[in-house]
Amino acid sequence: MKKIHSLVLLPVAAIVLSGCTSAPTPADVNKATAEMLKNSFQARGIATLDRLNQDQANAECAVADATGKPLDAKMTKAIEDASMKTVKWPTDGKFIGDWKEGEKIAQSGRGLTWTDTATSENGGNCYNCHQISKEEISFGTLGPSLYNYGKLRGVTDPASAGGKAIVEYTWGKLWNARAYNACSQMPRVGHMGILNQKQIQDVMALLLDPASPVNK
């Protein structure tokens, strides 16, 4: 027991000692954490160590989270603007695919492990954080319920001009959730290459097609 405790405390102790008098700053803790992660992960298959590199938004939001101090307005806007620029709109102009395929993608948490290949199709893992269709009774609640997503927003025909704003917002949200909420906890499924365009069109249909069980 004693040994485990001292091992866990080692990185923190190292910072305190090297800093001599002052308490570790968030930057010190981040550095120690990054080193710990680097030392405990091994690259294997497609799961390479570059996954440990934080982009600017990840780094800024991690500090905000750790210190309990939200980002200032300027940084929030900078992250949201930069994230918005990453959104790739559908190359075939189609926002809505097949909701039945979308349901399978939302259900699946498969992908991105070392046993997958660079061309394996990943799942969206959406039920892990959201209620979506009523038929699925096992879901996480980190994100809001998406049951009746299109219906509640008055989308009766996603292809019509009336539904355009919601349809575009939903696409952008799926592509890069940080475009609308700088420190969103939702995975950036388009931007990070987790889902491809066709899969996003299918998940869009699950949320927005009036024929989808989500909107019944």
Binders of ligand HEC among residues 79 to 98 (CB under 6 A) are none
Binding segment (CB under 6 A) for ligand HEC, from list 7-15, 56-64, 76-84, 181-189 = 181-189
Does the protein bind ligand HEC through residue 186 (CB under 6 A)? yes
Tokens 């307005």 found at: 73
Does the protein bind ligand HEC through residue 187 (CB under 6 A)? yes
Contact in structure between 176 and 200 (CB atoms under 8 Å):
no
Two structure tokens written together for 206: 């699950």
Query: Which 3 state secondary structure label does DSSP give 44?
Result: strand
Binding segment (CB under 6 A) for ligand HEC, from list 5-13, 18-26, 119-127, 208-216 = 119-127
Does the protein bind ligand HEC through residue 61 (CB under 6 A)? no
Tell me how far, at minimum, the Cβ of 70 lies from ligand HEC, in Å. 14
CA gap 207, 99 in Å, rounded: 8
**CA 136 → CA 127, 147, 207, distances in Å?**
8, 11, 14
Nearer to ligand HEC, 76 or 184 (CB): 184
Residue from 183, 216, 213 nearest 59 by CA: 183
Contact in structure between 201 and 96 (CB atoms under 8 Å):
yes
**CA 55 → CA 64, 77, 146, distances in Å?**
14, 16, 28
Tell me how far, at minimum, the Cβ of 141 lies from ligand HEC, in Å. 9
Tell me how far, at minimum, the Cβ of 25 lies from ligand HEC, in Å. 28
What residues line the site for ligand HEC (CB under 6 A)? Answer: 106, 124-126, 128-130, 142-144, 146, 170, 173-174, 177, 181, 184-187, 189, 203
